[in-house]
Amino acid sequence: MIFYNKYKKFRIENNIDLKDISKRTKIDLKYLQALERGKFAEIPPVYVKLFFKAYINEIGVDINEALFELDSFLNQKTNSKKLKFIPDERNESSSFFSKINSENLFNSSVFIGIASFLLILLLSFSLNSNSQISQKDLEDELRITKSDLIEFYSVRSEEVLSIESISNPVTIRFKSNIENYINFYDNFSGKEFFIFEDSLNSQSNTFTEQWDGQERAFLIANTVDYELILFSDNSYQDFSKNIINDFPVEVILKSDPYTITIKKYLPKN
């Protein structure tokens, strides 16, 4: 896991609100969000280390280790850029262009045009690669598994509620107004839903699934600003208030009789 994702996960698991950090440090919320996504280029360079140090101090982890990781990451980015854009005179492509120039086969404008074209190709490849890595890192950060619940969390409470006067098929509607992860599964297969903070305005944050009455379960990463509604032709039941929790929630659906079991988790000490 990339180091800034690790610190964001630590903050979330310790129930530290990013808005509270912004209020205490007087750092604009958009800069704190940029820190947690690794988008350091969106922060004025002179403030990157200052803001990062204040952020690390607020979440309560080792500042020296965090700054070392930040320096290593920034230096790696800098070295990477140098390797991409500074030509090596011993490189075969450089020798090729030198030969062309010496033989006067192309004038200077043609040479600049070719170099610009290659530079655009390099930048395009780099941006596409970074986008793919970023997407995968976000999914890995949000994903909650059964093994995660066993290893890192303990059951805070368990409640069994009746589902009244409902008939098949039942539609389950999930809606999250915050960055989230939902895993809807049975004993044989599962389906994952990701909601990313950057795309809440353009991506649907509402999902629906059909339930045929067989035992099903789903994990929800965060239910603070979340809706869970079950409805059929003759029934409509809202369980949103029942599942509110700052940490993962596991929901198990059973029929005969129809019940919904809500397990709320909190991090182990």
Q: Which residues pair with 157 in a beta bridge?
A: 264
Angle among Cα 255, 250, 261 to the nearest 5 degrees reads 35
CA–CA dist 98, 12 (Å, integer): 55
Task: Specify the pairing of strand 226-232 against strand 235-238.
Answer: antiparallel
Cβ neighbourhood burial of 178 (10 Å; 0-12, 13-18, 19+): middle
Model pTM greater than 0.75?
no
- Amino acid letter for position 192: E
Domain ranges in the chain are 3-142, 146-267
Helix (H) or strand (E) holding 164: none
| pLDDT for 171 | 94
Helix, strand or coil, per DSSP, at residue 201: coil
Say how far apart CA 73 and CA 264 lie, in whole Å: 37
Q: How far is CA 240 from the centre of its chain?
A: 23
pLDDT of residue 201: 52
Both structure tokens of 153: 């969390």
> Position 238: which residue type?
D
93 alpha-carbon distance from chain centroid:
39
Tens-level pLDDT at each residue, the chain (269 residues): 578 888 998 999 899 998 899 999 989 888 998 898 888 888 988 889 999 999 999 999 999 999 999 998 888 755 655 544 445 545 555 554 455 455 554 456 656 767 666 776 666 555 444 434 456 767 777 788 888 888 888 999 999 999 888 888 899 999 998 888 999 988 778 889 888 765 555 668 888 998 988 899 999 988 888 999 999 888 899 999 999 987 899 999 998 889 999 999 988 86
Q: Are 204 and 222 in contact (CB under 8 A)?
A: no
- Quote the CA–CA distance of 90 and 39 in Å, as a whole number: 34
Q: How far apart are CA 127 and CA 227, in angstroms?
A: 36
Alpha carbon 78 to its chain centroid, in Å, reads 25
Tokens describing residue 58 = 């607020």
Own/partner pairs, 122-127, CB within 8 angstroms, 24+ separation: 122/84, 122/85, 126/84
**254 is written with which tokens?**
């059973």
